[in-house]
Amino acid sequence: MATIAPLNAPIRTLLGPGPSDIHPRVLAAMAQPTVGHLDPYYLRVMDELQSMLREVFRTKNRMTMAISGTGSAGQEAAVVNMIEPGERVLVCINGVFGNRLFDMAERAGGEVTKIERPWGEVFEVGEVKEALARVKPKIVAIVMAETSTGAWQPIGEIAAAVRDAEAMLILDTVTALGGIPVEIDNWQVDAVYSGTQKCLGCPPGLAPVSFSDRAVEKILKRPKKVQSWYLDVSMLANYWGSDRVYHHTAPINMTYALHESLRIVLEEGLEACFARHRRNHLALRAGLAALGIEYATQAGHELPQLNAVRIPSGVEDVPVRKALLERFGIEIGAGLGVFKGKVWRIGLMGYSSRQTNVLLLLAALEQLLAEQGHKFEHGAAIAAANQVYSSAK
């Protein structure tokens, strides 16, 4: 067998839809010595992790924890625990991850109805109320930050409508948590899930989740077991709760990473963190406008941490993204679904959301777009972004 060379991963600037750049402190935390998953030290880390997750989710839910798996595992945990076979479910779809919710709800045995908006748009509370009255669901599922379209879905009024209809709400905050306000208790959300690799600035591998007391009561009263042994919250509760009953071997060093990521977020302060994401978004937006690049998302509902923008007419998608990666070490995301070949997805999430990254990307885009014959005033993108930063100071 040929000798396998040691790993030597390239250094990238991750400005796509995820993962985002990892803070050096988080990488250092991952290198801490591994202990057992029932070691007293690790149990203390779990307690601290739960406490910090409650702060970031803005909840007092006892059943708040990190599922061992990526954000999609958290999504599936919320769905299979909350939805019982034959229950009526309403899913709101305006992108890839709403479709994924629909698929999972059907697999869980739900009697699923969907309402849809065109990609890039968000739902109004009136259309959700109409569907609630028509379908009379037990469960409603919606995405707060649609990663495929960059759309920021308002949740407050929709959550109130769901509660008034005596239904329960599953909320996707995979791209939202740590980048924009998430108010689980104020909105009375029943089940919420997220991921570590977006605005929390942690490697992929854990899925923060939280279940309300009402949701936990529903889960514990199910007449049939949850279809997934691994994701059964009634069993995970015994491990993450005070009993610490063995369930599975947790990813110890990933827990260290998330612990440090949450420490960094809370050291900065949630409001300051949201403001940083917003400031860098506005600078990027100004720079892109100077290049003649427009947003693909409904006006007024653009996510600051995930910028979905239209590829200018006459510019080729793949060559630009390839050159960004090969010549500048920058990754941005391609469009998905109906946006394929039409949209770039630019992430400014977590540790990636920095002024240096915004200016680096704009400078690289100026060079590459000029090479493709795209017309704009050279230097205008950097100047526009710097004007935003100067104004902010």
Domain stops at, among 220, 242, 267: 267
Instruction: Assess if residue 16 is contained within a domain.
Output: no
Say whether both 366 and 255 belong to one domain. Answer: no
Query: What is the pLDDT, as a whole number, of residue 111?
Result: 98
Query: What is the pLDDT, as a whole number, of residue 241?
Result: 85
d(CA 134, CA 129): 9
Say whether both 57 and 158 belong to one domain. Answer: yes
Say whether both 41 and 165 belong to one domain. Answer: yes
Query: What is the pLDDT, as a whole number, of residue 242?
Result: 82
Q: How confident is the model over 177-234, as pLDDT tens digits?
A: 999 999 999 999 999 999 999 999 999 999 999 999 999 999 999 999 999 999 999 9
What letter does residue 302 receive in the DSSP assignment?
B
Say whether both 187 and 280 belong to one domain. Answer: no
Q: How confident is the model over 358-380, as pLDDT tens digits?
A: 999 999 999 999 999 999 999 99
Find the domain containing 35 and state its range.
24-267
What CATH number is attached to the domain comprising 298?
A: 3.90.1150.10
Q: pTM of this prediction?
A: 0.97
Say whether both 241 and 306 belong to one domain. Answer: no
pLDDT beneath 70, residues of the chain: none
Say whether both 97 and 160 belong to one domain. Answer: yes
Q: How confident is the model over 290-315, as pLDDT tens digits?
A: 999 999 999 999 999 999 999 999 99
Other Cβ atoms closer than 10 A to 93: 21
Query: What is the pLDDT, as a whole number, of residue 118?
Result: 98
Say whether both 212 and 348 belong to one domain. Answer: no
d(CA 99, CA 75): 12
166 class by beta-carbon count within 10 Å (0-12 exposed, 13-18 middle, 19+ buried) = exposed
Say whether both 161 and 240 belong to one domain. Answer: yes
Among residues 320, 225, 242, the alpha carbon closest in space to that of 15 is found at 320
